[in-house]
Amino acid sequence: MTPFGEAMRELRRRKGVSQKEMAAAIGVSPAYLSALEHGKRGSPSFDFLQRVAGYFNVIWDEAEELFQIARISDPRVVLDTSGLPPGHTAFANRLSERIRNLSAEAIEAMEDILEKATFPDNDRG
């Protein structure tokens, strides 16, 4: 399941609707909705996201959060390390080989490192 799939499932749970009911209301197939929730499809379109936000009557802040979650939920990630130092490419490949075996704690620790990292392009202020 992707973060977006988890968020949609929670929205459906709060509203008390099934995938089939939601799919009919927003004009998609239940199979598509299921595939999104289970990470079998890529990121949804902006139009789809707007229909979901409208269906659940989410406020602007919640809608923006939902859109951000959708942006980071594509289950097929491609990293382009061309032009970067060799260590970056090696790290990306090691991560892709091992990500399935990382614990939730390891992922959380890596997220913390990413949040605290200083990015040179952002220091030009």
C-alpha 73: how far from its chain's center?
A: 2
- CA-CA distance, 21 to 19, in Å (whole number)? 6
- Residue 76 placed within a domain: no
DSSP state for residue 79 in the 8-state scheme = -
Cβ neighbours around 35 below 10 Å, total: 14
CATH number of the domain enclosing 37: 1.10.260.40
State the residue range of the domain holding 45. 3-71
What pLDDT, on the 0 to 100 scale, is given for residue 87?
Answer: 92
pLDDT tens digit string along 7-21?
A: 989 999 999 999 999
Within 8 A by CB and 6+ apart from 86, the residues are: none
Q: Is residue 118's pLDDT more than 80?
A: no
Sign of CA dihedral 51, 55, 60, 62: negative
As for how many domains the chain has, the answer is: 2
Q: What is the pLDDT of residues 33-78, one digit of tens each?
A: 999 888 888 778 889 999 999 999 988 888 888 888 888 787 778 8
